[in-house]
Amino acid sequence: MRSVIDIRDLSTEEIDSLISVALDIIDNPDKYAEACKRKKLATLFFEPSTRTRLSFEAAMYELGGNVLSVTGAGTSSAAKGESVADTAKTVSCYADIIAMRHPKEGAALVAANNASIPVINAGDGGHNHPTQTLADLLTIHREKGRFSDLTVGFCGDLKFGRTVHSLINAITRYPGIKLVLISPEELKVPGYVKNDVIIRNNIPYEETNDLLSAIPKLDVLYMTRVQRERFFNEEDYLRLKDSYILEPSKLTNAKKDLCIMHPLPRVNEISVSVDDDPRACYFKQVLNGKYMRMALILKLLEEAEK
């Protein structure tokens, strides 16, 4: 059974084809209005979420399907001590496809290994978040018209930010990508991303803690929230939480066609006064996420039927 746990579960050709389907959905929504009729998506969210869960659910409704939903570990049998494996086996009896978010790294993989239906990882701890990456890629595609020859800056919590890990994995597959990794020393990208993806593939990169000096060279700036829930102590979080705050004055020397992204939710990382700047793309990312999730649900359900 085909699941998507890591963005590496999708080949570059498959990502390109999901983008084509999403663009077709945008142009011809009626064509897809009954594509998943009588199919059920189960959203199992054991961690807070607004965008990811609602966009999965909106995606399934727009495909003519239905949704079963568990929100919060406290309201399901997880609170009684049920394992992820047993939950996955159980939900396989009711639904056709699962989208799952869990605070533990690897939980979605355990679910996929035990489910008899496709599982989509909607975020596993500080590890991966492949469907946010699909949303990010569609945004870059629509804003920049290409994935190649871009200097992409990632700023903030690059250690625990799972969206960063997945997007670095995907964007560096395209030619001419340069990375600028902007973070405090304590929040640099983990070794499994730096060594296994960036260095292994000879991707040009620099690491800095200086956002202002990095901005002028960027085509894409991907801001992130400091991931409070993954910190071991509150003191470190409080010290690091406002390391970077993007304000209009910091954009004076930025490129005119810079694409400013953020997976959201934002706390303080982007001042609301940036929202009216035409380069602000973070709410477009939200909408693009729904289209890419529609394309992915369609693909996995089609493959499951074969």
Cα of 195 vs its chain's centroid, Å: 21
- Taking CB under 6 A as the criterion, the residue among 141, 159, 162, 299 binding ligand NCD is 162
- CA separation for the pair 92, 65 (Å, rounded): 16
In whole angstroms, the minimum distance from the beta carbon of 74 to ligand NCD comes to 19
Please pick, among 129, 142, 162, 225, the residue that the annotation labels catalytic: 129
In whole angstroms, the minimum distance from the beta carbon of 276 to ligand NCD comes to 22
Please pick, among 52, 133, 163, 172, the residue that the annotation labels catalytic: 52
Closer of 42 and 114 to ligand NCD (Cβ):
42
Instruction: Using CB under 6 A, count the residues that bind ligand NCD.
Output: 11
- CA separation for the pair 50, 148 (Å, rounded): 31
In whole angstroms, the minimum distance from the beta carbon of 93 to ligand NCD comes to 28
Nearest partner of 181 among 200, 207, 162, judged by Cα: 207
Please pick, among 39, 53, 101, 262, the residue that the annotation labels catalytic: 101
Closer of 205 and 222 to ligand NCD (Cβ):
222
- Answer yes or no whether residue 163 interacts with ligand NCD by CB under 6 A: yes
Q: What is the dihedral sign for C-alpha 262, 266, 272, 273?
A: negative
Nearest partner of 126 among 167, 99, 158, judged by Cα: 158
Instruction: Give yes or no: 101 in active site.
Output: yes
- Taking CB under 6 A as the criterion, the residue among 56, 91, 109, 123 binding ligand NCD is 123
By CB under 6 A, the residues from 181 to 240 that bind ligand NCD are: 225
In whole angstroms, the minimum distance from the beta carbon of 155 to ligand NCD comes to 13
In whole angstroms, the minimum distance from the beta carbon of 216 to ligand NCD comes to 26
End-to-end CA distance of the chain: 10
Q: Give the ranges where the chain is alpha helix by DSSP (H).
A: 12-27, 51-62, 84-91, 107-114, 130-144, 162-171, 191-193, 211-214, 234-240, 282-305
Instruction: Give yes or no: 80 in active site.
Output: yes
Instruction: Give yes or no: 90 in active site.
Output: no
- Answer yes or no whether residue 126 interacts with ligand NCD by CB under 6 A: no
Instruction: Give yes or no: 37 in active site.
Output: no
- Answer yes or no whether residue 51 interacts with ligand NCD by CB under 6 A: yes
- CA separation for the pair 157, 164 (Å, rounded): 9
- Answer yes or no whether residue 151 interacts with ligand NCD by CB under 6 A: no
Percent helix, strand and coil across the chain, each rounded to 5?
A: 45, 15, 35
Instruction: Give the chain's radius of gyration (CA, Å).
Output: 19
By CB under 6 A, the residues from 244 to 283 that bind ligand NCD are: 263-265
Per-residue contact flags (x/-) with ligand NCD for residues 16 to 35, judged by CB under 6 A: --------------------
Q: What is the 8-class DSSP label of residue 36?
A: T
Closer of 52 and 92 to ligand NCD (Cβ):
52
- CA separation for the pair 88, 130 (Å, rounded): 19
Walk across the sheet containing 205-208 and list its strands: 205-208, 178-182, 151-155, 220-223, 259-261
Instruction: Give yes or no: 51 in active site.
Output: yes
- Answer yes or no whether residue 132 interacts with ligand NCD by CB under 6 A: yes
- CA separation for the pair 26, 222 (Å, rounded): 24
- Answer yes or no whether residue 159 interacts with ligand NCD by CB under 6 A: no
Tell me which residues are annotated as active site: 51-52, 80, 101, 129
Binding site for ligand NCD (CB under 6 A): 51-52, 123, 129, 132, 162-163, 225, 263-265
